[in-house]
């Protein structure tokens, strides 16, 4: 079955940046390190599509459970089930 529209469907306001977030990317947040077991918040930086998670999980918190390449494996609870997301560090914030 073909997906109607795309990955960023209905994210016009969810992925909006604040006025002071516009401009160049912060290298500090792009390369920020996380330790296994650390608690993080999922927060999208809409100017970077690489390593972006599904918009349903916007604003959720999770625990870093490992690393794959440049991205981190984040374990979150979704309706009683544990799910694993691969997320680039620019889309994560320390809790």
pLDDT tens track for 37-48? 999 999 999 999
> For residue 23, what are the contacts with CB-CB under 8 A and spacing of at least 6?
none
- Is residue 28 pLDDT above 80, yes or no? yes
CATH superfamily of domain region 19-94: Ribosomal protein L21 (2.30.30.70)
Do the beta carbons of residue 61 and residue 95 sit within 8 Å?
Answer: yes
Across 56-80, average pLDDT: 96
């Amino acid at each position: 079955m073909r997906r109607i529209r795309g990955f960023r469907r209905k994210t016009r306001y969810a992925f909006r940046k604040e006025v002071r977030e516009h401009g160049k990317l912060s290298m500090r947040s792009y390369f920020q390190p996380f330790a296994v077991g650390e608690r993080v918040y999922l927060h999208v930086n809409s100017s970077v599509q690489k390593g972006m998670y599904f918009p349903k999980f916007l604003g959720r918190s999770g625990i870093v459970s490992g690393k794959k390449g440049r991205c981190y494996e984040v374990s979150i609870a979704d309706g009683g089930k544990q799910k694993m997301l691969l997320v680039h560090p620019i889309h994560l914030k320390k809790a």
